[in-house]
Homo-oligomer: A and B are copies of this chain.
Amino acid sequence: MDILFQPFLNHFSKNLPLSDGTKAEICIYLSILNLNKKHVLINENQRHDFAYFVIKGAVRSFYLKDGIEVNTWFALENDMVGSLQNFNDNPSRETMELVENSTLIAINIKKIKPLMLSNIQIANFINAIIEEYALFLEDKIYFSQMMNSIDKYLTLVDKQPQLLQRIPLTYIASFLGITRETLSRLRAK
Contacts and interface: CB of A to CB of B under 8 A. Distances in A.
A70 B145 contact: yes
A165 to B, nearest CB: 25
A140 to B, nearest CB: 6
Chain A contact residues (Cβ within 8 angstroms of B): what range? 20 to 34
A149 interface: no
Counting every copy of the chain, the complex holds 2
A134 interface: yes
A124 interface: yes
Interface of A: 16-17, 63, 65, 70, 72, 83-85, 88, 93, 116-120, 123-124, 126-127, 130-131, 133-135, 137-138, 140-142, 144-146, 177
